[in-house]
Amino acid sequence: MPGILKADSVEETKKRKLELVEDNTEKSKDEIKQLKKKLKKEKKEKKEKKEKKHKKDKKEKKVKDKKEKKEKKEKKEKKNKKEKEIKQEEKQEEKQETKEITLNGQWSYQEHEEITNLSQEELNQFWQKNNIELKGDEIVRPILEFKHSNFPEDIKNVLKNFKKPTPIQSSCWPIVMKKRDCIGIAKTGSGKTLTFLVPAFIHLKYINPELIKSKKISVLVIAPTRELAMQTYDNAKEFGEPLGIRSLCIYGGVQKYEQKNALRQNPHILIATPGRLLDLINEGACDISNVNFLVLDEADRMLDNGFEQDIRNIISNTRSDRQTVMFSATWPQSIQKLAHEFLKNPIHITIGSAELHANENIKQIVEVIDPKQKESRLIELLKKYHKTRKNRVLVFALYKKEAIRLENFLQRRGYNVASIHGDKSQEQRIQALNNFKNGSCPLLIATDVAARGLDIPNVEYVLNYTFPLTIEDYIHRIGRTGRAGSSGTSHTLFTQYDKAHAGELSNVLRDAHQEVPEALRNFGGTVKKKEHKIYGAFFREIDPNVKSTHVTFDD
Ligand SMILES: Nc1ncnc2c1ncn2[C@@H]1O[C@H](COP(=O)(O)OP(=O)(O)OP(=O)(O)O)[C@@H](O)[C@H]1O
Ligand SMILES: [Mg+2]
C-alpha cells in the first residue's frame, strides 16, 4: 500500500479513507483500519507537537518575563539608588548650608575689648580730635582701627588697601551694624560710600544670609544723578561681586529694555536714580517690596523740593521694618524734619563743627568780580591753573546754556575741553566724564550734575565760574577736589548777583580757616533762612530728637 503510506497529511489520509469506504472491499476495510490507526497516531502526534510547542512557548515566555522583570527590577533599583544619592547630596548640601546659615546667622557686631576698655577720656579725645558730634538715645563706641571690627575676613579684604577707617566709618559702622537707623554727615571725599556699602554687604551676607539666596532686591541705594549712581554701582560691583553679591544700576537717559532684563537676573543691591526707578516700579518691572536696607546718598538733595515726592513714592514701596541710613556732606535744616519721617529713632553723626562744613584740605579762594569781566578772568585763571594743559581742572557753570557757551568759548581759544550737563545725551555725558578721568580731556565744564559725590582722582582745581544756587552746592562742588586726605584748590568768582550768599559763604570760609575777602564782607553778613515748601521756616522750632542724649565737642 504504497499509495496509503505516501499520504503525508491528515487531510490526505481522510480523503483516502473516504475513497476506501466507497470501495467497501475486504482489502479496503483493512486499509481503513490501518488508516484509522494512522489517523489516530497523526492526531496524537499533532496534539503532542502542539502541546510541546505550547510548553516551549510558555517556557520562553516565562524566561522572557523573568528577564524583563529582572531588568525592570534592576532599573528600579538603579533609579532608587540614584534618587537616594541625589537626596543624600541635597541633604548634605542642606546640612552645609544650614551650617553656613547658622554660622553666618550668628554674626553680629561685637565691640572689641580694646574699645570696651577705652576710658571716657580717651573716647572724648577721639571725638574731640575728629570734631564728631553724636545725637541719639545711645552712645555707640567707635571702631578706631580695622582690627577693632569683627567683620568677617572676606569683608575685611574689601578694606585691605586702606590704613584705617575714616572718622565717619569709625563712627557709623558700629551703629549701622547694630541695625540702627542713622544720619551720617561728613565732609566731601571722606569715604561715605564704603560707610554704607560695607554694612550693606554684611547685612546681606552675614546678618540676614537668607537674603543672598532670595530672588528679591534687599538693598536699595538712591542717588541724585546718573553719574553718581554709576560710580556707586562700580564700587558695589568691585567689592561686592567677590562676596557673591550682585548689584545693578538703573538710571534715566538710556533705553529701559536692558535694565528690565537685568532686573530679571535678581540683583541683591539696586542703585538707582529716582525717576527711572519709579518708572520701572510703575511699569511692574521692578519690585522693591523686599527692600529692608535703604540708603539715601546725598540725602539732603534727595529730600529737597525737587525729589521729595518721588522719594516718598519710592519709600512707600519698601518694607516698613527696613533699616534706613542717610548720608551727605551737608544737612540743611530745611529737610531735617522731612528726613525724620523716613527714619526710626536714628542716631545722628556729624563730623565737623558746623552745619555747613567744607573740607579743610581745600584751599578756598573767593574773588569778588564785575560780572562783565568773568570771561577774561577765566582765561587768566586757566593760564595760571591749567598751564600744562594736562592737569585736571573742573569749571562749574550754573545753567546748561552757560556751560554750552563756555565750552564753545574755550574751544575757540584752543582748549581741549568737554562739558557735562543736562542737554547732552547720556552717552556724551559718560564719554566726557571718562575722558576727564583718563586724562585725554582734562578740562571739563559742568553744571551741578557733577557737583555731588563724583570721586575723580586728582582734580587739582575747581573753578566756580558762576556761584551755585545754594551754599550746600558750593560745598559739594569744591569737594570734587581734596579727596581722601589729598589737597586741592577752589577758586570762586562771586558777583553782586550772588550777594544773598555772602553771609553763609563767609561762615563757610571762616569755619574752614580760610581768608574772607573784604569785598565779600562788604556785601553784609545776613544769612537767609531757608524754607521748605511744606514745613516753611518754622521747622527750626521742632526738635526731632527731643529725648536724645547729646554729645557735642566744639573746637
Ligand atoms: N578708610 C579709607 N582710607 C582712605 N581712603 C578711603 C577710605 N575709605 C574710602 N576711601 C577713599 O576715599 C575716596 C572718597 O570716598 P567717597 O567717594 O566715598 O567720599 P564721600 O565721603 O562719599 O564724598 P562726597 O561727599 O563727595 O560724596 C574714595 O576714592 C575712596 O576709595
Ligand atoms: Mg559720596
Domain boundary among 332, 351, 370: 351
The Cα angle at residue 270 between residues 216 and 161, in degrees rounded to 5: 120
Higher per-residue confidence, 66 vs 116? 116
Q: How many other C-beta atoms lie within 10 A of the C-beta of residue 537?
A: 13
Whether residue 475 contacts residue 462, with contact meaning beta carbons closer than 8 Å, is answered with no
In a domain, 8, yes or no: no
340 with 387, same domain: the answer is: no
Distance of CA 524 to the CA centre of its chain: 46
> Could you tell me the three cell numbers for 239?
567689592
Please give the C-alpha separations between residue 218 and each of 230, 289, 368, 551, in angstroms, as whole numbers: 19, 8, 49, 33
Mean pLDDT of 155-180: 96
Q: What is the CATH number of the domain that holds 496?
A: 3.40.50.300
| 194: amino acid identity, one letter | L
- Summarize the confidence of residues 302-331 as an average pLDDT: 95
**Does 366 share its domain with 259?**
no
pLDDT above 90 coverage of the chain, percent: 71
pLDDT of residue 533: 47
Domain end call among 283, 318, 351: 351
pLDDT tens digits, 243-252: 999 999 999 9
Probe target for ligand 1 pocket from 362, 455, 459, with the most ligand atoms within 8 Å of CB: 455
**pLDDT(199) > 90:** yes
Atom nearest to 457 CA in ligand 1: 29
The HSE-up count of residue 526 (CA atoms within 13 Å, CB side) is 7
Q: How far apart are CA 25 and CA 1, in angstroms?
A: 14
Structural domain contains residue 527: no
What's the CA gap between 37 and 43, in Å, rounded?
Answer: 10
* pLDDT > 50? residue 546: no
| Residue-level pLDDT at 90 | 60
The answer to whether residue 39 sits within a structural domain is no
Q: What is the C-alpha to C-alpha distance for residues 251 and 468, in angstroms, rounded to an integer?
A: 24
Mean pLDDT of 77-106: 62
What pLDDT score was predicted for residue 208?
A: 87
What are the pLDDT digits (tens) for 277-310?
999 999 999 999 999 999 999 999 999 988 999 9
Same domain, 403 and 492: yes
Is the pLDDT score of 506 beyond 80? yes
Q: Are residues 261 and 399 in the same domain?
A: no
Is 236 in the same domain as 256?
Answer: yes
CA-nearest residue for atom 6, ligand 1, is 191
Give the closest residue (by CA) to ligand 1 atom 27: 453
Under the banding of pLDDT at 50, 70 and 90, the label for residue 12 is confident
**Domain housing 391:** 362-522
Instruction: Looking at the structure, tell me whether residues 301 and 403 fall in a common domain.
Output: no
Q: Based on the fold, state whether residues 367 and 341 are members of the same structural domain.
A: no
* 5 pLDDT more than 80: no
Ligand 1, atom 15, lies closest to the CA of: 191
Q: Same structural domain for residues 428 and 483?
A: yes
Which has the closest alpha carbon to 480: 457, 499, 500?
A: 457
C-alpha of residue 350 to centroid of ligand 2, in Å: 15
Q: Is residue 539 part of a domain?
A: no
533 lies in some domain = no
Q: By percentage, how much of the chain surpasses pLDDT 70?
A: 88
The answer on 232 and 144 residing in a single domain is yes
Q: How far is CA 74 from CA 64, 87, 271, 306, in A?
A: 15, 19, 55, 73
- Residue 413 above 70 pLDDT? yes
Q: Identify the residues whose C-beta falls under 6 Å from ligand 1.
A: 162, 165-166, 169, 188-194, 329, 453, 455, 479, 483-484
Q: Are residues 343 and 464 in the same domain?
A: no
**Is residue 405 one of the residues assigned to a domain?**
yes
Distance CA 540, CA 211 (A): 40
Least confident stretch, 37-41, 429-433, 437-441, 546-550: 546-550
Mutate to test the pocket of ligand 1, among 159, 173, 193, 350 (most ligand atoms within 8 A of CB): 193
**The pLDDT value given to residue 528:** 61
- One domain for residues 345 and 452: no
Q: What is the pLDDT of residues 442-478, one digit of tens each?
A: 999 999 999 999 999 999 999 999 999 999 999 999 9
366 and 260 within one domain: no
Residue that is last in its domain, among 321, 351, 381: 351
* Dist. CA 68 → ligand 2 center (Å): 73
Query: What DSSP element (H or E) covers 107?
Result: none
Report if residue 439 sits inside a domain. Answer: yes
Q: Which residues hold their Cβ within 5 A of ligand 2, which is an ion?
A: 192, 453
Specify the number of domains making up the chain. Answer: 2
Higher-scoring residue by pLDDT: 60, 535: 60
Q: Is the pLDDT of residue 553 over 50?
A: no
Closest CA to ligand 1's atom 3 = 162
**Band of the pLDDT at 128, cuts 50, 70, 90?**
very high
Query: How is the beta sheet containing 549-551 ordered, strand by strand?
Result: 247-250, 269-272, 219-222, 293-297, 323-328, 182-185, 347-351, 132-136, 549-551
Task: Return the ligand 1 atom nearest residue 453 CA.
Answer: 27
According to the model, what pLDDT value does residue 16 have?
74
Quick check: is 5 in a domain?
no
